[in-house]
Structure 1
């Protein structure tokens, strides 16, 4: 069996890279021969015109404006711009060391991708928010490129929203009905699929949760990044109140804060945030920062995942307050619900809530049950590997 994995393996994002790596590691462990599909778009004039309606997509435009704003702010702060460049090279370092040899030869242009799909028995849309409305026109993560003779499967794929725009519903239904086995990351995604198609999707674990603490120790070497005790802050959102809560925790415990600022967007409060800023951190070091932290404050789904896997005392914050994006908070809510850790979502007294003991034996039991369901789905979806 030859498996082609369609996912964001080369995004400069810690969660994306780690979920891609976990997908590959688990598939290989289960006996499958697999690789990531490398697709490079090559658009002609007609195709570029067809992409113009994307400018009406409010999710895409919000993301574009966020990136533009970050570039503008980095120009105003050349010292941070230089440090951000160091971070981008760190992402490339992880790509080179852990992922590069697991990637196909590049398929340049859609026709080459369509023809290349015949090289695989199964193509998998694997992990992450691959079905966000903004990505629909690419016809990559929705597997519309795949030849009819190639089996199409999704594993732990997310829409990132609870509803798709009305003008995308027909095409969304079309690609969902072409995918033979539907595995999604959130209950909300399964409900959306059922409303659109009448089909039942299986809710499975994020790929990073398919490996336990010991398996991650084999996949990512265990090496401390810092020598002292620290509180690790990993905030992707711009909420200054969350950072003030972390500062309060640091003041009450006497333990210093370390953070990784300006990752998704430029956050003005981070210029005064009382934390030691880290930039030269790749995905390997990101995991190790979590492993050795005394406490963790985060609004990140994957930072929450690794906090749970490594039995840390952590608090999870809602990243979004914007009504357009609030549905994305459901990722952490679903994770905490599955693991019985809803009490770890920040509600009030930071020190009392942070120090409250966590029964990780019970958490691990819950995860093992969910993992068994997910692995059974993978075996059924991908088929025999002999």
Structure 2
């Protein structure tokens, strides 16, 4: 049987990374493309979340305790990630940098993406995510992200060499399409994140409830005082408890109930069953849209701006949901969900048409 191989960040300790991998696999299956997620272990990705216990010269006890908490959280996260992959993903045999070239003889073609697989800094600029092991006729992408508006000057030649023989390009952002056009003189399609390819009904099939009472779900990828304050004000107004899922639980926040890391389908369930969602995460925003939730999102945070969430809500015509220094949105603001679904249906059809071109070459 002819099969496609998906090359993506399925092993990352990120709910969005796991769920976009799952979603792309499912969407390919729905459209008649048999596939495996290539079970490639990137050494850089595997080790970056392993942190030694640190004891500095100052605040020794505090540093030690924070390291212990981080190690515990990472351990739980890893176990939950492995469990999700085993239960919900169809994987290839294991591959690493030494044997990945063997995959070229086991699959008809490969799809790089989604996620930041072409980032110049993410995962140590691993060429496997550029399909360097595959034959030219096997190379495709779907919603691959370069994650920068301009390439570093010292990497332009490497990008040109790695991408020049791709058969078709699909990227996630306009900036990525611009880079490919400037670098190779070729056009790239812009397609939506795979999580948005699946409907609410399809996500309901795996969403698992975690909490048995009405609640506010607070999820951030970077700690934000503003986001926490907004959730607390909402809690005071509604009388609902706040359940807080945080990437690294090293800052104690009063007035919230902390959650340990969950399986990715439980993350979906946490958003599905929430009365309100407060987030600065793209996938927190995306699933709030999928499940038509009452939500608020913060774009600006320490380390940058959540451009992806901003662009998504603008694309879908959803306004007045951003938390800023000057504005706390009304989470009960009406959204024209029928119009949102129409836009998503058009984008799903666009992605379907792109994948038909890939299917012809299986």
* TM-score normalised by the chain length of structure 2: 0.89
1:120 aligns to 2:81 (yes or no): no
**Is the contact made by 1:142 and 1:176 (CA closer than 8 Å) also made in structure 2?**
yes
What is the match of residue 91 of structure 1?
Answer: 81
1:11 aligns to 2:23 (yes or no): no
What is the match of residue 259 of structure 2?
Answer: 278
Aligned-pair distance for 1:260? 1.1
**Is the contact made by 1:157 and 1:183 (CA closer than 8 Å) also made in structure 2?**
yes
Give the Cα separation in 1 of the matches to 2:220 and 2:232: 13
Instruction: Give CA-to-partner distance per residue, 1:339-380, whole Å, 9 cap, x none.
Output: 111432224543x52111111111101110111111111111
Give the Cα separation in 2 of the matches to 1:192 and 1:384: 26
Residue 76 of structure 1, aligned match among 55, 65, 68: 65
Change (3 A) 1:115 1:86: closer
Residue 322 of structure 2, aligned match among 337, 342, 345: 345
1:287 aligns to 2:268 (yes or no): yes
Instruction: Give CA-to-partner distance per residue, 1:14-37, whole Å, 9 cap, x none.
Output: 111111111111111111111111
State the aligned residue count: 351
Helix, strand or coil: the match of 2:335?
coil
Give the Cα separation in 1 of the matches to 2:131 and 2:53: 32
1:331 aligns to 2:308 (yes or no): yes
Residue 354 of structure 1, aligned match among 317, 331, 342: 331
Aligned-pair distance for 1:247? 1.3
What is the match of residue 176 of structure 1?
Answer: 163
Change (3 A) 1:114 1:214: same
Structure 2 gap ranges (5+): 56-61
What is the match of residue 229 of structure 2?
Answer: 244
Aligned-pair distance for 1:184? 0.7
Give 1 or 2: higher helix fraction: 1
Change (3 A) 1:70 1:32: farther
Aligned-pair distance for 1:3? 0.3
Instruction: Give CA-to-partner distance per residue, 1:106-140, whole Å, 9 cap, x none.
Output: 23434x32232122221110211111112464211
Give the Cα separation in 1 of the matches to 2:228 and 2:52: 21
Instruction: Give CA-to-partner distance per residue, 1:276-330, whole Å, 9 cap, x none.
Output: 00115111111011011001011111111111000101111125443xx44xx22
Residue 299 of structure 1, aligned match among 280, 283, 306: 280
CA RMSD of aligned residues (A): 2.6
Aligned-pair distance for 1:187? 1.6
**Is the contact made by 1:243 and 1:273 (CA closer than 8 Å) also made in structure 2?**
no
Residue 230 of structure 1, aligned match among 215, 240, 251: 215
**Is the contact made by 1:153 and 1:382 (CA closer than 8 Å) also made in structure 2?**
no
* TM-score normalised by the chain length of structure 1: 0.83
